[in-house]
Structure 1
Amino acid sequence: MKVAVIYHEDFGSKGHSVLRPRIKPSFEALRRSGLLEGEDVQVFSAEAAPLSLVERAHTPEHMEAMKAESYNRMYHDVALLSVGSVLKASEMVAKGEAERSFAYTGTAGHHASPGSCWGFCYYNDVAIAISNLRDMGLERFLIVDVDPHFGDGTRNFFGDDPDVYHVNFNHQESSNFDDKRRNHDIGIGFDADDETFLRVLSAAMDMAKEFDFQICFVIFGHDSHADDYGGFELSSAVYPKMARIIKEACGERGIVFVLSGGSVPDVASKAIPEVIAVLAGR
């Protein structure tokens, strides 16, 4: 199997109020695309992440806050389901059951630190997945966060871990690369267009592919679209090109796309099937 898509209908009905409108329309667009008609792309149902894994990543105080505050409690179950989606997507790639995967989510994760969270995030799905993969014997990972909002939570988990190479796009006007700690922050401003984004992404992936990673996580926020809320001025044409650049840089190494920010159904309904098509080699 080339691509495993992890999905659950609760992401579109019980997910965060900002993020959930795009879920069902984009999944229906994926069905209409014809990508699911063969065996190359298959859909699997997400299951809630074990609390033991989540509790290992986050502080007891954070776990209590997620369960105790009414606003957080509203999304607690779907947050666990979202983490479970990323766990399944990454495990299938690690086991060789799929070459690449795409994890739908109902909440995001990259603003969740060990002891805090904000921005529609509750638990750091990628951090929990990496912890789980390390239990399975994997050691080195590449994270490419193309969401236009700085992934501060993920950086708080891995900023001092040289076995995690973290590429982090953001709204800033300046960039920074810390080779020792393998942190690459890429600021392209609020009005970045397709040409700027793709040029900088290509250069960043040329650098990152030299790192001996085993799996690449792509934190995919389509809030970077000009019609979405993130602030970049990208068009829908950029997303399959983005996926192709990442795929070519990774070569034979596994790729896990994790759905992050974005709210516009029309944007998601075009971007997600086209990204999955690239991952499937179409």
Structure 2
Amino acid sequence: MSGRGLLMWDEAVTKYDFGDSHPMDPVRLALTMGLVRAYGLDRAMDVVSAKSAGDSTLRLVHRADYVAAVRAASADPHGADQAYGLGTVDDPAFAGMHEASALIAGQSVGAAEAVWRGEAGHAVNFAGGLHHAMPGAASGFCVYNDASLAIARLLELGAERVAYVDVDVHHGDGVQAAFWDDPRVLTISLHEHPRTLFPQTGWPEETGGKGAGEGSAVNLALPAGTGDEGWLRAFHAVVPELLADFRPQVLVTQHGADTHFEDPLAHLAVSLDAQRAIQEACHDLAHSCADGKWIALGGGGYEIVDVVPRSWTHLVGIAAHQPVDPGSVIPSSWRDEVYARTRRLAPGRMTDGRWPVRWKGWDEGYDPGDRLDQAILATRRAVFPLRGLLA
């Protein structure tokens, strides 16, 4: 296995562009890559571009009629079929939509192939993590579900156990749906409670299909307002024990940056420093539970200057085994790039001033009156017995 990680990158992924008024501004990808370069992390990893996902690959998850509908909308955005979730407020059709979406999917599939074959231990595609797309419909800013396609490709290559951990503020509903009945895939999603946030799914009682799939879906629904200590407590109260039991051959993680307190579309209160702590935890879990095989994806994140580039640059640094010091001063070259692209002032350091983040472990006690602890316990009670673990 190569000692260097892979960074999947192609400038053309920035053509995944729903328009000027849409919150998913592709400049967040360009600024992330710019910050990665400013820290020299592109020299610490092999930067590669995989080929776009072809129809046979897309059909590992998506229906043929849906792929055809995306192609049609890509050629004629005004004729997009809303029955497929295309041409909606969340997912406006745009020229070249199929090509941009298939390229992002191809990067995640290529990452999966390289990690499975031992060509790299870790691979990052921060343009990916489009976890809401369903087999037959676009949803939540997502056209093709690259995370599901990467997992499906791993299964096609012979993987018998793949774990997917999603820490985006929104429920990883599309990935859960794709593998609902498949015991080879364990999906774990930590997200804001469905009572207060799209897509209104991800209740703790959603534990997988009946029969062999039961217990293969795990959902931890966090109360709005959850901050650093609670978010980390919840993660460590559920994820490590499940992964140690499942023993995945590959760990796929999704790192949406929209848990941040500055994100305009959600209601958690997590800092950049806590996001970095979870990234480190996922890296450690890949080594302790999955023989180091780790595929890390991006996801949501709509504070495109202050949050997304810094968060995903930390992710790249961790995967490159050259973590960025949270206290480091951000290079002026990148701050100049930010101003040139957005006319906004860039942040000065790689921290929100909360590093290192501390939290109370689950083994240190349970408060029955605390809403976060109630959420943790609801998840453990729903799924742990199904997997033969003590709740």
**Does the TM-score normalized on the shorter chain lie above 0.5?**
yes
- Structure 1 SS opposite 2:144: coil
Q: 1:155 aligns with which of 171, 176, 179?
A: 176
- Deviation of 1:34 after TM superposition, in Å, equals 2.3
For 1:225, which of 250, 255, 260 is the aligned residue?
A: 260
- How many residues are aligned here? 279
What is the CA–CA distance in structure 1 between the aligned matches of 2:181 and 2:25, rounded to whole Å? 31
1:83 and 2:105 correspond: yes
> What is the correspondence of 1:11-22 to structure 2 with a 5 Å cutoff?
11-17=13-19, 18-22=24-28
Distance 1:58 1:13 in 2: 21
1:108-167 C-alpha deviation (Å, 9 max, x unpaired): 521111112211111111222222222222121100011111121111111111111110
Structure 2 residue matching 1:241: 3-state secondary structure: helix
| CA deviation vs aligned residue, 1:18-72 (integer Å, no higher than 9, x gap) | 141201111110011122334xx22112321122110232112312221233143
Q: TM-score, normalised on structure 2?
A: 0.67
Residues of 2 paired with 1:59 and 1:196: CA distance?
39
> Where does residue 250 of structure 1 map in the other structure?
286
Which amino acid is 1:199 matched to?
A: R
CA positional deviation for 1:218: 0.7
Tell me: higher relative CO, structure 1 or 2? Use CA pairs within 8 A at least 6 residues apart. 1
Q: Is the 8 A contact 1:150 1:168 kept in 2?
A: yes
With structure 1 as the length reference, what TM-score do the two structures score? 0.91
Q: 1:272 aligns with which of 312, 321, 325?
A: 312
Are residue 201 (structure 1) and residue 235 (structure 2) matched?
A: yes
CA contact (8 A) 1:66 1:73 kept: no
Deviation larger for 79-88 or 233-242: 233-242
* Residue of structure 2 aligned with 1:112, choices 116, 133, 139: 133
Aligned counterpart, 2:204: 175
Amino acid at match of 2:58: V
Task: Give SS of 1:101's match.
Answer: strand
Give the match for residue 72 of structure 2. Answer: 68
Point out the structure with max Rg over C-alpha. Answer: 2
**Residues 5 and 42, structure 1, Cα contact 8 Å, conserved in 2:** yes
Quote how far apart the aligned CAs of 1:272 are.
1.2
Aligned to 1:8: 10
What secondary structure, in the 3-state scheme, does the structure 2 residue paired with 1:5 have?
A: strand
* Deviant stretches of 4+, over 6 Å: none
* Alpha-carbon offset, residue 190 of structure 1: 2.2
The answer to whether the 8 Å contact 1:19/1:261 transfers is no
Unaligned runs of 5+ in 2: 78-91, 196-202, 209-213, 323-391
Q: What's the counterpart of residue 388 of structure 2?
A: none
User: Does the Cα contact within 8 Å between 1:4 and 1:43 map onto a contact in 2?
Assistant: yes
Quick one: distance in 2 between partners of 1:89 and 1:120? 22
In structure 2, distance between residues paired with 1:177 and 1:64: 31
**Higher strand fraction: Structure 1 or Structure 2?**
1
Q: Which residue of 2 aligns with 1:190?
A: 224
Tell me which residue corresponds to 2:300.
Answer: 261
Q: What residue is the counterpart of 2:369 in the other structure? A: none
1:54 alignment counterpart: 58
Structure 1 partner of 2:162: 141
Q: Which amino acid aligns with 2:207?
A: D
Larger CA deviation: 158-167 vs 272-281: 272-281
The letter of the residue matching 2:225 is D
Structure 1's 266 and 125: CA in aligned 2 closer, same or farther, altered over 3 A? same
| Cα distance, 1:73 vs structure 2 | 5.0
Partner of 1:164: 185
For 1:16 and 1:258, locate their aligned partners in 2 and report how far apart those are by CA, in whole Å: 20
Q: Distance in 1 between matches of 2:43 and 2:64?
A: 44
The DSSP-based 3-state class of the residue aligned with 1:91 is: helix
